[in-house]
């Protein structure tokens, strides 16, 4: 089957194949970078007691009408609960930020707005309102409220928020088990000298670090020799231990491109092969039982582009992200671009800032300098042959 499909058809196919990984319970710190597998509810009122927002003095607001100064009778630091305390008329308490408001106190004034004379205070501010500087129990969250939706990314803000309720563990989706095979006899590991005709393997570095950015890692990375047998057995063995197998190189039509025939021989069902796009034309996506294979074209910029457009959304979808393709945005093009093939979508390395986007030079799929400079991909859509300066374009942040 050598039928080229469109970018949107390919994305539809990927979206329909998204499955959710198992649900697991992790400590809030271990869950960082994961997505919640169930909603989370408040286990407490927060704040759990009325407390002072300032270092100052607490008093009964109505006393202001009858007293020009108040007697300071108690000191209430944070962490202390005054149970046996009674605030009499004309009295105030010395209180500090975060300390529990004792019975009888309904207003706190910050100390800068008072004058202290031995054990009495006078007020320098005549614009005091009842209840000021008191953070009421449950004023952030009432116990039982849904505080986090299912499919929420657990980031540092969420973790800090949950810690405020004393929540230790939460339900999230389990990380995927991912393996990587990279093919090509010309590839040499960094640290070793290059012989004529050889190049350094960079694709595994791109993918390994991209995965760590989404809280995943490879369970193995193997270099596969360009032979039919080596390719067959590496894919067969690899598929036995992972949920997702990523392969780079060897997926085109050359005499040494063994990935596609090996996948067929193993019985992997092709979901698509070849997309009307640049870079990344010979991208392959297939399935064997509950396992998935992406065979990415070997060119380094194709790997980068295909990862962002297809692999990452699929992985995050399985990991619990709700929105497929959520990272798209629009910006005004600052540069002109042209393409001959109207039926093809291009993903152009570009740099956006303040709503404007500059399409970079060096778009060929063997060039990584533009990848390193880019902070987005501009979608040059099917049907269009030009992007003009000032035009609105869809960008994908990378
Ligand atoms: N006759 C045709 N030839 C090619 C076509 C075509 O349609 N007809 N398509 C071209 C396009 S487009 C692409 S993309 C490539 C994809 O080829 P493969 O997936 O088979 O990849 P390789 O040939 O193995 O490698 C391509 C290129 O990338 C370099 N490479 C591979 N792996 C790595 C790595 N780990 N790190 C860095 N660089 C890597 C490799 O040396 C090649 O230069 O096919 C075109 N040909
Ligand atoms: O489609 Mo290929 O990835 O242009 O080089």
ipTM, two decimals: 0.98
Q: How far is the CA of 262 from the centre of ligand 1 (A)?
A: 17
Is the Cβ atom of 281 under 6 angstroms away from ligand 2? yes
pLDDT at 101: 96
Q: How far is the CA of 365 from the centre of ligand 2 (A)?
A: 6
Is the Cβ atom of 280 under 6 angstroms away from ligand 2? yes
Neighbours of 331 (CB within 10 A): 20
Is the Cβ atom of 305 under 6 angstroms away from ligand 2? no
* pTM: predicted TM-score of the whole model, two decimal places: 0.93
Largest separation between any pair of C-alpha atoms in the chain? 98
Please give the average per-residue pLDDT across 108-122, as a whole number: 96
Neighbours of 220 (CB within 10 A): 15
Give nearest CA residue, ligand 2 atom 4.
Answer: 279
pLDDT at 325: 80
Average pLDDT, the chain: 96
Contact between residue 300 and residue 202 where contact means Cβ atoms under 8 Å apart: yes
Q: Tell which residue, 211, 238, 205, has the closest CA to residue 371.
A: 205
pLDDT at 214: 94
User: Helix axis angle, 7-17 relative to 312-319, nearest 10°?
Assistant: 20
Contact between residue 293 and residue 14 where contact means Cβ atoms under 8 Å apart: no
Q: How far is the CA of 199 from the centre of ligand 1 (A)?
A: 13
Q: What is the pLDDT of residues 200-237, one digit of tens each?
A: 999 999 999 999 999 999 999 999 999 999 999 999 99
| 27 beta partners | 169
What lies within 8 Å, CB to CB, of 285 at 6+ separation is 10, 13, 14, 17, 270, 271, 272, 273, 292, 293, 294, 295, 310
Distance CA(211)–CA(289), nearest Å, equals 24
Residues with CB under 6 A from ligand 1: 182-184, 186-187, 199, 201-204, 248-254, 257, 281-282, 297-300, 302, 365-366
- 2 pLDDT band, cuts 50/70/90, is low
What DSSP designation does 268 have? P
Exposure of 174 by Cβ count < 10 A (0-12 exposed, 13-18 middle, 19+ buried)? middle
Q: Domains, the chain, ranges and CATH?
A: 7-21+175-319 (3.40.980.10), 26-46+141-173 (3.90.105.10), 51-135 (2.170.190.11), 328-393 (2.40.340.10)
How much of the chain, in percent, has pLDDT values that exceed 90?
A: 94
Q: Is 90 exceeded by the pLDDT of residue 125?
A: no
Q: What is the pLDDT of residues 348-371, one digit of tens each?
A: 999 999 999 999 999 999 999 999
Q: Which two structure tokens, joined as six digits, stand for 44?
A: 């407490």
Q: How far is the CA of 302 from the centre of ligand 2 (A)?
A: 6
Ligand 1 nearest-atom number relative to CA 201 = 36
- 327 pLDDT band, cuts 50/70/90, is confident
Q: How far is the CA of 362 from the centre of ligand 2 (A)?
A: 13
Q: What is the pLDDT of residues 53-109, one digit of tens each?
A: 999 999 999 999 999 999 999 999 999 887 788 999 999 999 999 999 999 999 999
Distance CA(280)–CA(347), nearest Å, equals 9
Q: Is 70 exceeded by the pLDDT of residue 1?
A: no
pLDDT at 178: 98
Please give the average per-residue pLDDT across 334-343, as a whole number: 94
Give nearest CA residue, ligand 1 atom 17.
Answer: 252
Ligand 1 nearest-atom number relative to CA 252 = 20
Q: Is 90 exceeded by the pLDDT of residue 50?
A: yes
Q: Tell which residue, 53, 48, 45, 49, has the closest CA to residue 141.
A: 45
Q: Is 60 exceeded by the pLDDT of residue 319?
A: yes
Q: Is 59 or 255 the better-scoring residue by pLDDT?
A: 59
Ligand 2 nearest-atom number relative to CA 281 = 1
Q: Tell which residue, 70, 52, 62, 49, has the closest CA to residue 115.
A: 70
Give nearest CA residue, ligand 1 atom 33.
Answer: 298
- 117 pLDDT band, cuts 50/70/90, is very high
Contact between residue 134 and residue 101 where contact means Cβ atoms under 8 Å apart: yes
Q: What is the pLDDT of residues 240-249, one digit of tens each?
A: 999 999 999 9
Distance CA(307)–CA(304), nearest Å, equals 5
């Amino acid at each position: 089957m050598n039928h080229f499909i469109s970018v949107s058809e390919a994305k539809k196919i990927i979206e329909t194949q998204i499955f959710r990984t198992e649900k697991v319970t992790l400590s809030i710190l271990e869950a960082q970078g994961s997505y919640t597998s169930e909603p989370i509810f408040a286990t407490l009122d927060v704040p759990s007691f009325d407390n002072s927002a300032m270092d100052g003095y607490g008093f009964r607001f109505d006393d202001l009408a009858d007293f020009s100064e108040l007697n300071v009778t108690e000191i209430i630091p944070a962490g202390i609960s005054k149970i046996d305390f009674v605030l009499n008329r004309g009295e105030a308490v010395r209180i500090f930020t975060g300390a529990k408001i004792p019975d009888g106190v309904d207003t706190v004034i910050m100390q800068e707005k008072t004058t202290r004379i031995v054990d009495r205070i006078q007020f320098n501010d005549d614009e005091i309102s009842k209840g000021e500087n008191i953070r009421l129990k449950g004023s952030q969250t009432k116990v039982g409220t849904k505080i986090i939706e299912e499919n929420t990314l657990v980031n540092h803000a969420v973790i800090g928020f949950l810690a405020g309720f004393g929540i230790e563990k939460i339900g999230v989706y389990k990380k995927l088990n991912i393996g990587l095979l990279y093919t090509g006899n010309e590839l040499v590991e960094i640290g070793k000298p290059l012989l004529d005709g050889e190049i350094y393997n960079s694709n595994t570095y791109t993918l390994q670090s991209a995965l760590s950015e989404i809280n995943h890692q490879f369970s193995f990375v193997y270099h596969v020799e360009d032979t039919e047998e080596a390719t067959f057995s590496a894919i067969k063995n690899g598929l036995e231990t992972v949920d997702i197998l990523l392969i780079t190189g060897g997926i085109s039509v050359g005499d040494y491109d063994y990935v596609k025939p090996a996948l067929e021989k193993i019985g992997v069902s092709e979901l698509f092969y070849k997309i009307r796009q640049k870079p990344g034309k010979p991208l392959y996506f297939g399935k064997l039982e509950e396992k998935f294979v992406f065979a990415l074209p070997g060119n380094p910029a194709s790997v980068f582009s295909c990862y962002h457009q297809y692999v990452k959304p699929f992985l995050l979808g399985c990991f619990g992200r709700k929105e497929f393709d959520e990272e798209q945005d629009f910006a005004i093009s600052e540069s002109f671009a042209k393409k001959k093939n109207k039926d093809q979508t291009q993903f152009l390395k570009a740099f956006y800032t303040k709503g404007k986007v500059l399409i970079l030079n060096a778009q060929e799929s063997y060039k990584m300098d533009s990848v390193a400079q880019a902070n987005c991909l501009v979608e040059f859509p099917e049907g269009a042959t030009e992007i003009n300066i000032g035009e609105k374009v869809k960008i994908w942040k990378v």
